[in-house]
Chains A and B, each alone.
Chain A
Amino acid sequence: MKSLTVIPKSYAAKREKVINTLLGGGVIVFFLVAWELVGRLALVNPLFTSAPSRVVKAGLALIQDGTLAQHLAVSGTEFLLGFGAAIVVGFPVGIMLGWFKVVNASFGPFIAAMQATPRIALMPLFIIWFGLGITSKIVVVALSAIFPLIVNLQVAMSTIDADLVRVARSYGATRWQIFRSVALPTSVPFLITGLRLAAGRGLLGVIVAEVFGGSQGIGYLIQYAGATFQTDKVFAGVLVVAATGIALDFSLERLGRHYDRWRGESAVH
């Protein structure tokens, strides 16, 4: 009995991939070259536009004098603590909202209202409550990251396959066993999606909170450099943030793929 079918990636698919990579990379290279030329040919004052070469130079300088590491450590701590808090609270809250109808009826509207409120607009309040230090930033990160997690896990619970629940029940599974063996595995891809969205929101939260008020962190570095017309440094700071975002998203995507092996090649993208 043969039923395992491995479909090899066809040559056409491979070629398409190569072409896509070339196209995507080409546009980026074109953009960088154009940017560099705008500065070099003095089409616009480089004070405004900077240039890739100047950004790299500024970045290297920030690395060498230790400024970058120092600010990165502060922002990193804020992000990780806020993101961690969002996971610790958001995961069970999302699951409970999806799993228990009563919890959803009670807290659903409140959470929807909270989600609609722009967290950054509350920053002045957070500064009054928690000061200009690291705590107010952690709160902003946590509140930015928590909602995508809650919403995704809530949706996950509603996609549980009723047939699987019926099978589990027919084997005498308790509600807890159904939760462990059916609901939790169902939630994994949603959790990963939630984490990816949450990471992006959290990163945004860190930077905006630091720009808003504070004396440390990448956001502060960007804000200060901007206020003193050091455009090269501004771009260097932005580059660091962007790179962090891409790295986070990439690792979470890989993690998701790892847990999605059972879907098979065709479903993983």
Chain B
Amino acid sequence: MPSANVDKNSIGNGLLAPVARATSGERPVRGVPFPASSPLPVPTPAGREVKLSVNDLVIGYLDKNTGHTMVAVDKVKFDIREGEFVTIVGLSGCGKSTFLNAIAGLVKHQHGEIRVSDKVVTGPGTDRAMVFQKASLLPWRRVGRNITYGLELSGMKPEEAREKASYYVNLIRLNGFEHHYPHQLSGGMQQRVNLARALACDPEVLLLDEPFAALDAITRELMQQELLELCEKVGKTVLMVTHQIDEAVLLSDRVIVFSARPAHVLADVSIPIPRPRRAEIKESEEFRGLVNQIWSVIEGNANIGGGI
């Protein structure tokens, strides 16, 4: 693992020259490697720069009832390359949300290392942005000022932030809603504002914590479709947590299966379905095969551990 002061150009395991990166100010050049209109399968991003690297991560927590330190996440190790969409699935309570909170810097880990663009994570930072399951918008701020909230916290003036966020406001089709208060929006719309707030910060890695779990089934399907299109357009590096396997397969380049608590990686499944994808692929043989494959891994683990 290269140390933090190594020049960016020398990393990426030396396989290929790193992809040209957007310098601050320019709008997402990062989207270029994935032209949305391209009918070609997306090339596996094996040669790309490692965006998020998790190495032997151990997260413990104090069980207040017993007073013992319990292990929630046990020696998890994987890398995510630039532009990859990776999803973690696992049984509820397996520690996947704890894991994502640790990546966000909200939960301390006891052992191991998290690096984003080769910088060691020690707390929350602007290189990551989290979309929580609950929209958690500031109810007294209009949509516009909610979207720029993250930028304002990083010290940007509201007008400047609005300018910077406008790209994503258009992309997520929230224009015209800037002057609404959150309570005037549906759950799906609120969640889009939540997503826009995270994207406006232009993070290196976007973290999604069961982003659609609180939505009704129809809205969820629509939002999955929208997120799919959005990610194919902007080519963000995404790490998502969900317990819906079909959602994971639809959206991801890779699905990582966590075991029951303490969580470790059971399987790391590539999803070779070509992009751009549409929801119809859920009907395909290949899609169902992948879902079944992932399901059998989870089921096998649950049976061994008696986890259900």
By a beta-carbon cutoff of 8 Å, the part of chain A in contact with chain B is 1, 3-5, 161, 163-164, 166-173, 177, 181-182, 185, 188, 261-264
Q: Is the CB of B184 within 8 A of A3?
A: yes
**Chain B residues near A177 (CB, 8 Å)?**
153
Q: Are B183's CB and A264's CB within 8 A?
A: yes
Give Cα distance in the complex from A262 to B153, angstroms: 21
Stretch at the interface among B25-33, B52-60, B76-84, B127-135: B127-135
B126 interfacial contact with A, CB 8 Å: yes
Contact across chains for A170 and B189 when beta carbons are under 8 A apart: no
List, in ascending order, chain B residues with CB within 8 A of A1's CB.
Answer: 173, 189
Ordered by A's residue number, 29 sampled pairs between the chains whose C-beta atoms are within 8 Å are A1-B173, A3-B184, A3-B185, A4-B184, A5-B184, A163-B136, A164-B136, A166-B132, A167-B130, A167-B136, A169-B106, A169-B124, A170-B104, A170-B105, A170-B106, A170-B124, A170-B132, A171-B126, A171-B153, A172-B123, A172-B126, A172-B153, A185-B138, A185-B140, A261-B181, A262-B139, A262-B183, A263-B139, A263-B183
Q: Given A3-B184, A177-B153, are A171 and B136 neighbors across the interface (CB < 8 Å)?
A: no
CB-CB contacts of B157-186 with A at 8 A, as 1s and 0s? 000000000000000010000001111111
Q: How many chain-B residues does the 8 Å CB contact rule pick out?
A: 32
Please report whether the interface of chain B is mostly helix, strand, loop or mixed according to DSSP. loop
Known: A167-B136, A170-B132, A171-B149. 6 other contacts (CB 8 A): A166-B132, A167-B130, A170-B105, A172-B153, A182-B138, A262-B181
Q: Is B201 interfacial (CB-CB < 8 Å)?
A: yes
Q: How many A-B residue pairs have CB under 8 A?
A: 71
Task: Enumerate chain A residues within 8 angstroms of B132, measured Cβ to Cβ.
Answer: 163, 166-167, 170
Shortest Cβ-Cβ A-B pairs, 8 listed: A171-B150, A163-B136, A3-B186, A172-B124, A262-B140, A170-B130, A262-B181, A171-B153
A111 CB to nearest B CB, Å:
28
Given contacts A1-B189, A181-B138, A263-B139, contact A168 B153 (CB under 8 A): yes
Find out whether the CB atom of B154 lies under 8 angstroms from the CB atom of A172.
Answer: yes
A173 and B153 form a contact (CB under 8 A): yes
* CB-defined contacts of B45 to chain A, threshold 8 Å: none
User: Which residues on B sit within 8 Å (CB–CB) of A171?
Assistant: 124, 126, 129, 149-150, 153-154, 201
